[in-house]
């Protein structure tokens, strides 16, 4: 099956990439993450993905329009910023999958034990119904530790928060 894989970062892509290839799928990555803040973090993640893609000979589409303002407006106006963020990014992935004739789309967000897994699956399935393209659901969390080992072995940059300014605050700000 031809699958477009939304990629949040290279370390989170390592295990799903390996898994999907071993399952016989033809995959192409898709990097679209205007939620990542600050811009230096965004650049680190994109450059790390470029390094991984070169090492593995993997195709990746880079949607490099860093529209942080639109993301922030939407997330601040939303009742649930995570749902908004998942929907915002996966909508772009499913649109690309539709335009380019992929049979399915998925996301590396499904590997993180720190993300809202059920919400991601729900958003993916809803978008699949809207666009008529399958959402390839796999609970990649089983490969989380392996993904970290692969990333360390390749010397990939590994971030310490999901990427958005809100998660950065949650990670580092400790009220007195």
Per-residue tens of pLDDT for the chain, all 176 residues: 999 999 999 999 999 999 999 999 999 999 999 999 999 999 999 999 999 999 999 999 999 889 999 999 999 998 999 999 999 999 999 999 999 999 999 999 999 999 999 999 999 999 999 999 999 999 999 999 999 999 999 999 998 877 888 887 887 888 87
pTM of the model: 0.94
* 127 cis-preceded (ω within 30 degrees of 0): no
- Closest listed residue to residue 27, CA positions, set 10, 46, 8, 3: 3
- Closest listed residue to residue 120, CA positions, set 110, 130, 112, 111: 110
Q: Which residues pair with 60 in a beta bridge?
A: 29
For 92, the domain range is 2-172
* Ramachandran sector of residue 48 (left: φ over 0; alpha: ψ -120 to 50; beta: rest): alpha
Tell me the CATH number at 37. 3.40.50.620
Q: Which helix (H) or strand (E) element contains residue 171? A: helix 165-172
């Amino acid at each position: 099956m031809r699958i477009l894989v939304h990629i949040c970062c290279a370390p989170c892509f390592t295990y799903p990439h390996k898994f999907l290839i071993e399952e016989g799928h033809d995959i192409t990555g898709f990097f679209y993450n205007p939620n990542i803040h600050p811009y230096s973090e965004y650049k680190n993640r994109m450059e790390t993905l470029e390094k991984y893609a070169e090492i593995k000979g993997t195709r990746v589409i880079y949607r490099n329009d860093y529209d942080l303002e639109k993301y922030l407006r939407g997330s601040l106006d939303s009742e649930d910023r995570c749902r908004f963020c998942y929907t915002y990014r996966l909508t772009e992935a499913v649109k690309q999958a539709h335009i380019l004739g992929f049979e399915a789309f998925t996301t590396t967000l499904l590997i993180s034990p720190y993300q809202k897994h059920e919400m991601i699956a729900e958003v993916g399935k809803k978008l699949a119904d809207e666009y008529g393209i399958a959402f390839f659901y796999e609970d990649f969390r089983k490969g989380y530790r392996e993904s970290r080992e692969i990333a360390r072995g390749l010397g990939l940059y590994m971030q310490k928060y999901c990427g958005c300014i809100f998660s950065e605050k949650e990670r580092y700000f400790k009220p007195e």
